[in-house]
Structure 1
Amino acid sequence: MSASEAEHLAFRVEHATKAVGRSGTVIGLCGKDCVILAVEKINFSKLYEDDAARRIFTIDSSIGMAAAGEWADAVVVADIARQEALTYRKQHEHPVPLKYLTDRVAGFIEAHIQCLVIRPFEVSIVLASWSEGKGPQLYQIEPSGVFSKYHACACGKAKHEARNAMMELSRDMETEELVKSAGAVIYKVHDARNDTNFVFEMGMVGKATNGRLCINSAEYTEMARMAGAAAREKDDSDDPLN
């Protein structure tokens, strides 16, 4: 690769990363027997329905994906992930391992970065699963295609604040505590001064859901929202500028 091509490649990665940084915050958080995906979905118009352009996708019965960045790109990546999961299931007659799926999807994203004649995906994704044998698993793929396994991760506009907040959380939280913590993190990092309209979305998979991904469960999502609103209210009351 020539110096000019390398420079152009670096520019493409930077451009895609900036696009992700303008998106609402996405977090993944593992507990004792559950893994949570939580999203701060920014609504740019009051005319939007709350369930429009969801940021959490079902990939397989026990695998969820959350995305920060360009929504249309996230839809394409989700479709690719579903196809990979379906192909693996047909060939091997059991669900796709999350590590294998992450590697395949990351390679697809990286190929779009490396190929200088097509537009890269301006998206960062978080993949989560749970099973009796392996417990909670969580991976994040960057816009460059680089991926890592995490106990807790974040992407989007307030990723640094979210990561700092999650550093203080226990790795052995039970399901309800995990749900409340996910809500608290998203509500705390949301900038109500600049983004007045946002919808909290949550996906979860674990022992409480019998190993199946559940998106926006009425009971657990409301629990997370209430914990988040309480956490933000406490932060506002502690802020000397308020």
Structure 2
Amino acid sequence: MASADGGAYSYSLTVFSPSGKLVQIEHALAAVSQGTTSLGIKASNGIVIATEKKSSSILVDDSMIERVAVVCPNIGIVYSGMGPDFRVLVARARKSAQAYWKIYGEYPPTRILTQELANIMQQATHSGGVRPFGVSLLVAGWDVNRGSSLYQVDPSGSYWAWKASAIGKNMVNAKTFLEKRYNDDISLEDAIHTALLTLKEGFEGQMTEKTIEIGVVTVPTEEELEGWSISSANTRPKPTFRKLTEEEVRDYLAL
């Protein structure tokens, strides 16, 4: 019934194999490693997240493909792995952010939202009749308490804070490239260029504004922070996370 290597434990329920491994999670990580490369870099004045955006056919309307998603004005997410799983997690994250807003009158800190996503993914690792989510996430955001934060969440529900990280098909080479080029004083502009250079290392075909998607977290100015009052929505800082337009991506690629 069960093979010595624990293979029979991977077909239905998520249970431990005799070797102490959760085989379904290993399969989920394999799905992530087959996905397109995504990365995040924390700069001294913000964060950049970037990914490849490729369609399977020239007939696909690529304007409908979204790999970098805005969760709320201060948090964005990018993924590697299965798109449908990412869509479900983004919907859950947005719902959670709105629920936090209704209670506290502000959007959640990045760590709180990351913990919520990690809990959702962890629950899928031990629930009967379901499988783990086949995605890894990079969550980037800014909040008053912690400033800029970059987290990685894996299918097991584990999460870590990173200065720079990569997930997906070319993540090993991308991390090696980032280790050589990263420094704590890197500016947001330099981080964007580094992100593009990192993606270019393992990119197949030509990099254009149509095949790259970038999101950035910017730090509010001192004037915005001084004018911020929790009791008044009109004095809130402007959104700190946004996706770059195709025109902006084209300009960065031209440099």
TM range, smaller chain: 0.7 to 0.9
Is 1:153 the counterpart of 2:195? The answer is: no
More deviation, 170-179/155-164? 170-179
Residue in structure 2 matching 1:213, options 241, 249, 252: 241
The size of the alignment, in residue pairs, is 223
Partner Cα separation in structure 2 for residue 174 and residue 95 of structure 1? 26
Residue in structure 2 matching 1:50, options 53, 62, 85: 62
Partner Cα separation in structure 1 for residue 132 and residue 111 of structure 2? 23
Partner Cα separation in structure 2 for residue 174 and residue 71 of structure 1? 31
Structure 1 segments (4+ residues) deviating >2 Å: 49-53, 130-135, 207-212, 216-220, 222-227
Partner Cα separation in structure 1 for residue 116 and residue 34 of structure 2? 26
Counterpart in the other structure of 1:170: 183
Residue deviations 1:3-34 (CA, integer Å, cap 9, x gap): 95312971210111111111100101110111
Partner Cα separation in structure 2 for residue 226 and residue 166 of structure 1? 21
How far does residue 172 in structure 1 lie from its aligned partner after superposition? 1.6
Amino acid at match of 1:63: I
Residue deviations 1:208-239 (CA, integer Å, cap 9, x gap): 89552211334542244335xxxxxxxxxxxx
Counterpart in the other structure of 2:203: 190
Percent identity between the two aligned chains: 25
Partner Cα separation in structure 2 for residue 14 and residue 52 of structure 1? 30
Is 1:6 the counterpart of 2:23? The answer is: no
**Residues 134 and 39 of structure 1, relative CA distance in 2, 3 Å threshold:** same
How far does residue 145 in structure 1 lie from its aligned partner after superposition? 0.9
Contact 1:28–1:153 (8 Å) recurs in 2: yes
More deviation, 209-218/158-167? 209-218
How far does residue 135 in structure 1 lie from its aligned partner after superposition? 2.8
Partner Cα separation in structure 1 for residue 111 and residue 87 of structure 2? 20
**Residues 61 and 148 of structure 1, relative CA distance in 2, 3 Å threshold:** same
Residue deviations 1:131-190 (CA, integer Å, cap 9, x gap): 465332100001111110001111100011111111122222222211111111111122
Partner Cα separation in structure 2 for residue 183 and residue 76 of structure 1? 28
Amino acid at match of 1:178: A
Q: Gapped runs of 5+ residues in structure 1?
A: 228-242
Contact 2:73–2:241 (8 Å) recurs in 1: yes
Partner Cα separation in structure 1 for residue 192 and residue 155 of structure 2? 27
Larger radius of gyration: 2
Contact 1:179–1:220 (8 Å) recurs in 2: no
Partner Cα separation in structure 1 for residue 169 and residue 143 of structure 2? 31
Partner Cα separation in structure 1 for residue 251 and residue 148 of structure 2? 21
Secondary structure, counterpart of 1:68 in structure 2: strand
Where relative contact order (Cα < 8 A, 6+ residues apart) is larger, the structure is 1
Counterpart in the other structure of 2:95: 83
Q: Under a length normalisation based on structure 2, what TM-score does the superposition of the two structures give?
A: 0.80
Partner Cα separation in structure 2 for residue 125 and residue 70 of structure 1? 11
Contact 1:41–1:55 (8 Å) recurs in 2: yes
Partner Cα separation in structure 2 for residue 180 and residue 187 of structure 1? 11
Q: Gapped runs of 5+ residues in structure 2?
A: 1-5, 10-14, 222-237
Contact 2:109–2:143 (8 Å) recurs in 1: no
Residue in structure 2 matching 1:128, options 123, 137, 140: 140
Partner Cα separation in structure 1 for residue 33 and residue 205 of structure 2? 17
Amino acid at match of 1:101: L
How far does residue 61 in structure 1 lie from its aligned partner after superposition? 0.3
